[in-house]
């Protein structure tokens, strides 16, 4: 069973950014791999994330947007589209003979963060 977590290959002193993708906020650095809700771009294409909320250069200089920074962008490569782990939804009412078991798998996109520009 695969777990969908952000894998950080970066040094904590490197530049990072907080971006908003599909209503969710992610802390990303260069060469990070993140799983986000399904994006419309094809696999092996590069997308530009322009909703950058915060950037840090790793030396203590932080830029905070209100709500987003205007000139900051993050370039990410769409690695693949896949389905997430199965989520089981189980409903039961005791002493009534009512049990319902349903589930779903979320469609996700794996992104590789290539470049952060502030």
Mean pLDDT of the chain, nearest integer: 92
What pLDDT, on the 0 to 100 scale, is given for residue 60? Answer: 86
Average the pLDDT over 64-80 and give the result. 95
- Residue located via tokens 């003979």: 97
| Triad 86, 92, 98: Cα angle to 5° | 115
Residue range 29-71, pLDDT digits in tens: 999 999 999 999 999 999 999 999 999 998 889 999 999 999 9
Asked if 108 contacts 84 with a C-beta cutoff of 8 angstroms, the reply is: yes
- Residue located via tokens 């950037």: 55
In the predicted structure, residue 79 carries a pLDDT above the cut 90:
yes
- Residue located via tokens 């502030």: 118
Reading the block at residue 42, the tokens are 């094809």
Reading the block at residue 63, the tokens are 């830029």
Q: Measure the CA–CA gap between 15 and 117, rounded to whole angstroms.
A: 9
In the predicted structure, residue 7 carries a pLDDT above the cut 70:
no
């Amino acid at each position: 069973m695969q777990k969908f977590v952000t894998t950080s290959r970066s040094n904590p002193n490197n530049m990072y950014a907080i971006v908003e993708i599909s209503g969710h906020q992610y802390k990303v650095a260069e060469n990070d791999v993140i799983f986000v809700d399904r994006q419309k771009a094809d696999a092996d294409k590069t997308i530009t994330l322009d909703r950058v909320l915060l950037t840090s250069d790793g030396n203590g200089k932080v830029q905070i947007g209100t709500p987003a920074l205007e000139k900051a962008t993050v370039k990410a490569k769409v690695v693949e589209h896949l389905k997430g782990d199965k989520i089981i939804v189980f409903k039961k009412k005791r002493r009534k003979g009512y049990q319902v078991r349903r589930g779903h798998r979320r469609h996700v996109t794996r992104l590789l963060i290539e470049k952060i520009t502030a």
